[in-house]
Structure 1
Amino acid sequence: MIETLGDVLRNNAYKFPNETAYNYHGRIVTFGEHLDRGNRLASALWKRGIRRQDRVSILSQNTIEFMESYAACELAGYIAATVNWRLAAPEIAYILGDSTPRVLIFEAQYAATIEQIRDKLGFIELFLCFGGDVPHWAEDYEMVLATGDADGAPTRPLPDEIMHLIYTSGTTGRPKGVIRTHRGEIAIAILMATELGLIVSDKLQLMMPIFHVGARFLQLGVHIRGGSVVLHHDFKPAEIVETIERERVTMTHMAPTMVQAMLNVPGIEERDLKSLHTICYSAAPMPVPLLKRGLKLLGPVFLQLYGMTEGGGTTLHKRQHKPDGTPEDIKRLGSIGQAAPNVGLRIVDDEGRDLPAGEPGEILINTTSRMAGYWNNSAATIAALKEGWYHTGDVGYLDPQGFLYLVDRKKDMIISGGENIYSREVEEAVASHPAIMDVAVIGVKDDYWGETVRAIAVLNPGHSATEAELIEHTKTQIASYKKPKSVVFVDDLPRLPSGKINKVTLRQLYGAAEPKAS
C-alpha cells in the first residue's frame, strides 16, 4: 500500500529494479540503484544525528544528487527544504534562517555564495558538497553517503508528516515556506498521473528547476506509475530537441517561452519528434500564434496545468486546444482549463460570497493535495486556509461550462480613476499585435488617476512598433480607459523559476512615474 513517497521508491525498486528511474545526460540510474543510494544517504545522515522531521536543505540545479537527497528524506522522514539557486546570498540566508536546517547539501558551484553567509548559519551542523571542489568547511557528499547502510535509517515517515518545505517566490512580500505532507504529495502524484494520462512506458523530460513544485509534481506523477525521467541540469533548447529525438521522450514540461525557444531551434522541422505525445505547459496561457505553430509541427500535444506551490487546480486538455475551432473554442485557449477531479473550485467576492459565471473574484481551491500551512507563519496560514479552502490570491472568473479564466493577482490589479483594470486583459490586448512576442503590464502611480497602465513589451525578431501604435491597437481590443498610457520596450522580461513573469522586479525597474515636463 502506498501512503508515503518512501513507499513509491520501495514499490518501484521491487517491481522494476533494473528499469530506468533517471537518465541524466546519459548517466542511467535504475529504480534499484536509486533506492539503494537513497537508503545509504538516509542512514549516513541518521548516524550524524539527523532525526525524523529535521530539515535537510538542498541548494542545487537539477542533478542526481538532488534526487537522492529527496529520496533520503522520503525514506527516513526528514523534511526536504529546498532553496532557489537563483537567489542572491542575503535571500538564501533568509530562507535558511527561517527553515533552520541541520544539514545543507549543495552543488559546488554555490560554495562561494554559502561562504558569504556562513557566519549566519550556525544552526547548520553538516555541509555536504558535490560536483566539484569541496571547501574546507564542508564534507564530500560521496564520502559521507558511503558510510551509510543499505537498510537505510531506522525510521519511516507517517502519511501526515511533513515531506517538503518549499518556499514561494515572494511576489507579495517575504517568501513563505509552504508545508506539504506525504499524504498531499501522494494525492498530487495521482492527480498528475490522471490528468496527464501517464503510463509505465512514459519517458518524462524535465528541465524546469526541480526545487520548484512544477517539475517536482510531474516527477512524482511519472514515478508513481513506474515511468522514467530524462533529467536535464538546465534548459538548453538545442539539447532539449536532440534529447527528445535520441531518447524517444514521450512527454515534456515547459513554460510557453521555452516552447517558443524550442520551436526556434534551427532544423527542428527535420527532427523526428514523433515519440512526443504531450507538452505540458504552465505559468501562462499559450499565445495562439505560437500554439498554431506548435500544433502544425508536433500535432495535438499541448496540455495546460494551473496550480501553485500551495496546491493544484485546473487542466486545459489536449482535445480542448482548438485554435481553428469555433469562436468559443478560440476564446477558451485563453482559459486555464476546468477543475481536475477531486478539486473544488469557487469564485468569491471580498465577503466570501460565491459569484455567478462571468463575474471576476478571488479563486478558491479545495483539494487533498493542497498545503498544510505556512512554516513559522500561523497568521498567513489562517488567512490562506479559511473554512478549509485555499485562498489563492488570484482573480478569475468561470464561464458556464466551468472553464476558468485568470485575470490578475489581487495585488496586481490596477485601479485607475476608480476603475478596476485587470493586467491580464490588457496584456492579451497588447499581445494580439503581430509585432509583440511577450508583454507584461504594471500600474504606475499617478497624482491624478491614482495609477496608470504601463506595458513592458518584447518585440518579435525582425518586427517594429511604436508606443503610439501599440496604444492605438489596444483601443480596438479593450475599453479605452484600460489601454496603456505608456509602453517600455525591452529585450527580455524577468521571470520566476516557475516561468511566471516577475512583476516585483518589473515594478522596481519600470514602476516609477515618468518625470513631468517643467
Structure 2
Amino acid sequence: MILGDVIERNERCSGDHPAVIFEGRTLSHREFARRVKCLVNALAARGHPRQARIAVLSRNCPEYLEVYGAAGLGGFVALGLNYRLSAPEQAAILLDAQPSVFFVEAEYLPRLRELRAGLPAETLFVCFDAAPGEGIVAYEDLLREARAEPLALRAQPDDTLFLIYTSGTTGVPKGVMLGNEGQLEQARVQSLSHLASPTDRMLIVMPFYHIGGPTELLTYTVVGATIVLHRQFDAHAILASIAEHRVTSAHLAPTMISMMLDVQEKTPCDLSSLHTICYASAPMSVALSIRARKVFGPIFMQIYGMTEAGLGTTLLKHQHVLEGDERQRKRLASAGQAYLGTELKILADDGSECPGGVVGEVCLRSRSVMQGYWRKPEATAQALADGVLHTGDMGYLDEDHYLFIVDRKKDMVISGGENIYSREVEEALLMHPAVAEVAVIGVPDPKWGESVAAMVVFKPGQQADEAALDKHCRELIAGYKRPKVYRFLEAMPRVPSTNKVDKRALRAPYWQDQQRQVS
C-alpha cells in the first residue's frame, strides 16, 4: 500500500469533504485528488520518470501539498527547499539532489534566477502563482496539459517519498531519504496516538521543508480530515483561525505556544473546539507546560523524534499530570514512551544496553526509520549501525520506560571529569520567574577543561542578576552543575530550517582560538 491509495480513498469516500482550507480558499478531497493526478500525468508526459526529484521553493500553500501528493501517488521524490537559507546553501543542496523539476512561488523568483545557472538546462521550472516567462511554466497551465485519468505513473511501496535535508547542526546538511510505505506506517500510528478522525480540522503552520509539516499532513490525511493551512506563524492570526474555523488540533513548537500564551492571556479567543495540541521540534520546559495547561487545558501531547527517525516516542495527553505524585510530575520533563511498533534502546559506547536510569545513546528501530542518507553510504552505515538508528541524543529510561532526553551527545559538558547534561541545567533556570529562554553550553576552563555557561533571555520587563540566578540554581541542582558563566541576550540565534537555538553559534566566540572544539 502507498500514500497515493489514501488520496484515492479520500476521493471516493469523502469527495465533498474539505481537504484544505487556506486564506479563504477551500479544496475538497475530490478536487485535491483530481489536481494531484493531473500533476502526475503532466510531469510524466514531459518525460519525468518515477523517482525523479522534484524540488519546491515556497512558503506553505495548497500547491505545495499537491506536489507532495503527486510524489505519494506518482512515485516522485519530493524535496522541500528551505527558503530561509542563503543562495550558496540552497545551491549546494540542489547540486547534491539534482532535481529535474523546480517548483517556485513568485516571491522567490529572484532567488531562482540566482540558482538557475547551477541547474541543468533541461530542468523544468514551474511557478505556482505567476506566468513570468523566462522559460518558466505557470502551474495552472501545467495542470491543464493533462487529464486526471488514466494515471501514467504509480508509486511503489519501497520508493523514496521525501528527501529532507538536515539542518546541519552537527555538520554538513545531509539528504534524509524517507520511504513511501514507511511514511504511510508513520501516518497510521500517529493518527492512533492523536485519536485523529475525519471530522478533525488540523491546523498546520510548520514549514513543509521541515519534517513536522509533512508528518502532521499525512497523519490527518490518512483519516480523511481537513487541513487548515497557514503560510507562516503569527500568534494573533493562529488564535483567530482556531476560533473561525473551529480547529480541533494543532501542531506547534514550544516557542510558538509561548507566544500564543502571551496573546491569549491578554485578549482571549474562543478555543473551545481545540482538543489536541501536539508540540515538537524542542522539549517544552516544565514551567511552560504548567503555564500552557492553565490556559489551554489538558490537551497537550509531545512528539520526540527527528527527520531520520520517523516514529520515536510520545507523551500523551493523559500522561501530562500536573497534580500527581513526584514521579508523575517528573514525567512532564520526559519525551514519553515509544510508539507502537517502535523498538527503543539506550546503548552504551560499547554497544551494550544500559539499565534503567543510566544515560546512554538513544537508538530506535521501526518501519518508518529513514532508508538512508542520499549518496552518503558511509554516513548511512554509521547512523544505521547494527540495524538501528543511532540518534546522537543522550537519554535514559525510567522504570516504566519513559524516555528522558538529557542532551545531544556533542552538547555534553565535561567539567573536571564529571558529565553535565545541559538540559537539566536549562530546566532549572527556566523555573526562575524572570527567565524566558536559556541555552547551556560548555566553555573553555583552564582548570576544569570546561565550565558550564548559561545564555539567558529574560521575559519582557523582567531582569535578574547572576547572584539571583545562582541562588535559584543552588536550590534545584548539584553545585558542580551550576553555571559559572552567564551571558544575557536580547534573543537567541536560531538554526534557519528548524528555529532551534543554534548552540554552535553560541559556542563559537569561546572556542574559536582553541585547538579542541566541542561543536
- Relative to the length of structure 1, the TM-score reads 0.95
Task: Note the 1:412-427 alignment, pairs <5 A.
Answer: 412-427=411-426
SS in 1 for 2:443: strand
- The 1:268/1:204 distance shift into structure 2, 3 A limit, reads farther
**Cα distance in structure 1, aligned partners of 2:219 and 2:60:** 17
- The 1:292/1:425 distance shift into structure 2, 3 A limit, reads closer
1:97 corresponds to: 95
2:503 corresponds to: 503
Q: Does structure 1 conserve the Cα–Cα contact (< 8 Å) formed by 2:41 and 2:153?
A: no
- How far does residue 478 in structure 1 lie from its aligned partner after superposition? 1.9
**Cα distance in structure 2, aligned partners of 1:129 and 1:356:** 54
**Cα distance in structure 1, aligned partners of 2:170 and 2:477:** 28
SS in 1 for 2:161: strand
**Cα distance in structure 1, aligned partners of 2:168 and 2:212:** 16
1:226 corresponds to: 224
2:137 corresponds to: 139
Query: What is the identity, as a one-letter code, of the residue corresponding to 1:460?
Result: K
1:359 corresponds to: 358
- The 1:450/1:247 distance shift into structure 2, 3 A limit, reads same
Task: Note the 1:6-405 alignment, pairs <5 A.
Answer: 6-122=4-120, 125-132=123-130, 134=132, 136-151=134-149, 153-265=151-263, 270-311=268-309, 312-405=311-404
- The 1:72/1:420 distance shift into structure 2, 3 A limit, reads same
Query: What is the identity, as a one-letter code, of the residue corresponding to 2:15?
Result: P
**Cα distance in structure 2, aligned partners of 1:447 and 1:149:** 70
Query: What is the identity, as a one-letter code, of the residue corresponding to 2:506?
Result: L
Bigger mean CA deviation after superposition, 105-114 or 135-144: 135-144
Q: Does structure 1 conserve the Cα–Cα contact (< 8 Å) formed by 2:80 and 2:208?
A: no
**Cα distance in structure 2, aligned partners of 1:33 and 1:209:** 23
Q: Does structure 2 conserve the Cα–Cα contact (< 8 Å) formed by 1:442 and 1:511?
A: no
- The 1:342/1:352 distance shift into structure 2, 3 A limit, reads same
**Cα distance in structure 2, aligned partners of 1:45 and 1:437:** 48
How many residue pairs match? The answer is: 512
Task: Note the 1:429-440 alignment, pairs <5 A.
Answer: 429-440=428-439
**Cα distance in structure 1, aligned partners of 2:513 and 2:248:** 48
Report Cα offsets for 1:170-219 as digits up to 9, x if no partner. 11111111111111011110111011110111110000112211121111
1:478 corresponds to: 477
Bigger mean CA deviation after superposition, 238-247 or 290-299: 290-299
2:405 corresponds to: 406
**Cα distance in structure 2, aligned partners of 1:122 and 1:499:** 32
Report Cα offsets for 1:131-177 as digits up to 9, x if no partner. 35636242222222221222264120110111111111111111111
- How far does residue 11 in structure 1 lie from its aligned partner after superposition? 0.6
Report Cα offsets for 1:277-335 as digits up to 9, x if no partner. 00100123323333233222222101111011012211111111122322112111110
Query: What is the identity, as a one-letter code, of the residue corresponding to 1:476?
Result: E
* RMSD, aligned α-carbons: 1.8
- How far does residue 419 in structure 1 lie from its aligned partner after superposition? 2.0
- Structure 1's unaligned 5+ residue stretches are none
Q: Does structure 2 conserve the Cα–Cα contact (< 8 Å) formed by 1:9 and 1:35?
A: yes
Q: Does structure 2 conserve the Cα–Cα contact (< 8 Å) formed by 1:101 and 1:123?
A: no
Q: Does structure 1 conserve the Cα–Cα contact (< 8 Å) formed by 2:287 and 2:431?
A: no
- The 1:82/1:509 distance shift into structure 2, 3 A limit, reads farther
- How far does residue 348 in structure 1 lie from its aligned partner after superposition? 0.7
SS in 2 for 1:308: coil
Identity of aligned residues (%): 43
Query: What is the identity, as a one-letter code, of the residue corresponding to 1:244?
Result: I
**Cα distance in structure 2, aligned partners of 1:294 and 1:510:** 35
SS in 2 for 1:212: coil
**Cα distance in structure 1, aligned partners of 2:131 and 2:473:** 54
Report Cα offsets for 1:73-127 as digits up to 9, x if no partner. 2221111122111111111011111111011101221122222232222266111
Q: Does structure 1 conserve the Cα–Cα contact (< 8 Å) formed by 2:286 and 2:427?
A: no
- Relative to the length of structure 2, the TM-score reads 0.95
**Cα distance in structure 1, aligned partners of 2:292 and 2:33:** 38
- The 1:123/1:268 distance shift into structure 2, 3 A limit, reads farther
- How far does residue 471 in structure 1 lie from its aligned partner after superposition? 3.1
Q: Does structure 2 conserve the Cα–Cα contact (< 8 Å) formed by 1:285 and 1:333?
A: no
**Cα distance in structure 1, aligned partners of 2:369 and 2:344:** 13
**Cα distance in structure 2, aligned partners of 1:18 and 1:503:** 47
Q: Does structure 1 conserve the Cα–Cα contact (< 8 Å) formed by 2:40 and 2:153?
A: no
1:468 corresponds to: 467
Report Cα offsets for 1:394-452 as digits up to 9, x if no partner. 00001001110001111111222222221111111221221111111122233443222
- How far does residue 239 in structure 1 lie from its aligned partner after superposition? 0.7
- Structure 2's unaligned 5+ residue stretches are 515-519
Q: Does structure 2 conserve the Cα–Cα contact (< 8 Å) formed by 1:413 and 1:422?
A: yes
2:517 corresponds to: none
SS in 1 for 2:333: coil
